[in-house]
Amino acid sequence: MPIRKQGVGVPLALSLLFHMLLLSLFALHFDSHQSPSEPLQPEVMEAVVMDEAQIQAEKKRFEAMHEAEAAARKAELAAQREAEAEAIRRAAEKEEKLRTAAEARQKAEDEAKQQAEQEARRESEAEATRRAADEEAKIRTAAEARQKAEAEAKRQAEQEAHREAEAEAARIAREESKHRAAALAKQKAEAEAKRQAEMEAQAQHELETEEKRMTEKASNSKPDTKTTTEEAARDWISNKIRPKVEKFSANSSGRSCTVRVTMLPGGGVQSVSVTLSSGDESFDRSVQAAVLKASPLPWPDDEKVAEELKTFSLIVKSRAK
């Protein structure tokens, strides 16, 4: 900072003037001592005395001025020192401000760097966390998918095993049903064959009994016209009607069904009903249908025989397979 120099020129000029006056007075005083041969005039002595007084006064004045100048110089030096101290203080303050600003700037930079590093670290940690979460989610999803696939495979395997078990159970049930049906059919067929045999045996026995009775009657008396007509009707049924009906009957080995047939004049069938079942409803129905399908049945020219055929019983046997 520049030092103020106001008030220095005047005291310096006064100091120079004062020294010049002193030198002049010393020169005059020296000259007065170098010329003793000249008598001292009273006027001169008086003048000298007066000059000395003036010089003393001037000296005091210059001393005062010198003191004043010294005081001024002292004050100036004090002011200069104060100015220098102020300049130093201000420089120190400026330097302190600069240092403080630099420290603040450095601190801000450090804080910004630290914040940037923290932010980068947080972002890195967040990214690592996100990646870890993504990886965990992928692993969890893969595990769930694998578990789901295993569960689905297990379910399908169980379903397949269940279907196979059901199929095997159904097959076994069918086999058992076939065996039971076969056994039942065999048992039923045996029972039916036995019943049929019994019926045929009974019919044969009755027929033989009737023939025996008729033979005995014929040998013991004249021929009976009614008996002859009945025999003719039976022969007509056996030789004409049964063969035509049996052509339309169903194939069922060992079956026979007895039906009651009501005829219309000319051979038309009015009605047919089962009087002795074969044990097989389907065969019985087929016999009834065969009688109706064979209508009109063969009709005899003999009126007496035709009269016997208005209502008659017919045994229909199944055709061989």
Residue 303, token pair as written in the block: 């009126």
Residue 213 pLDDT grade (very low, low, confident, very high; cuts 50, 70, 90): low
Residue 209 counted as domain residue: no
Global pTM reads 0.33
Residue 307, token pair as written in the block: 């009269």
Residue 213 counted as domain residue: no
Residue 275 counted as domain residue: yes
pLDDT tens profile 59-96: 788 888 878 878 888 888 888 888 888 888 888 888 88
132-161: average pLDDT: 87
Phi-psi group of 267: left, alpha or beta (phi > 0 → left; psi -120 to 50 → alpha; rest → beta): left
- Output the pLDDT for position 44: 47
123-130: average pLDDT: 87
CATH number, domain with residue 232: 3.30.1150.10
Q: Which domain holds residue 290?
A: 226-317
Q: Which residue has the higher pLDDT, 107 or 161?
A: 107
* Sheet of strand 269-276: strand arrangement: 269-276, 256-263, 311-317
Residue 244 counted as domain residue: yes
251 pLDDT exceeds 50? yes
CA-CA distances (angstroms) from residue 304 to 233, 267, 300, 318? 9, 14, 9, 30
Residue 170 counted as domain residue: no
Cα(177)–Cα(190) distance, rounded to whole angstroms? 19
- Output the pLDDT for position 3: 47
Residue 143 counted as domain residue: no
Residue where one domain finishes, among candidates 91, 113, 135: 113
318 pLDDT exceeds 70? yes
Residue 12 pLDDT grade (very low, low, confident, very high; cuts 50, 70, 90): low
Residue 310, token pair as written in the block: 């208005």
Considering its fold, how many domains does the chain have in total? 2
Residue 57 counted as domain residue: yes
Residue where one domain finishes, among candidates 75, 92, 113: 113
Residue 235 counted as domain residue: yes
**What is the b/e burial string over 57-96, where b = at least 16 CB atoms within 10 angstroms of the residue's CB?**
ebbeebeebbeebeebbeebeebeeebeeeeeeeeeeeee
Mean pLDDT of the chain, nearest integer: 77
Name 242's Cβ contacts closer than 8 Å, sequence gap at least 6. Answer: 314, 315, 316
Residue where one domain finishes, among candidates 113, 128, 151: 113
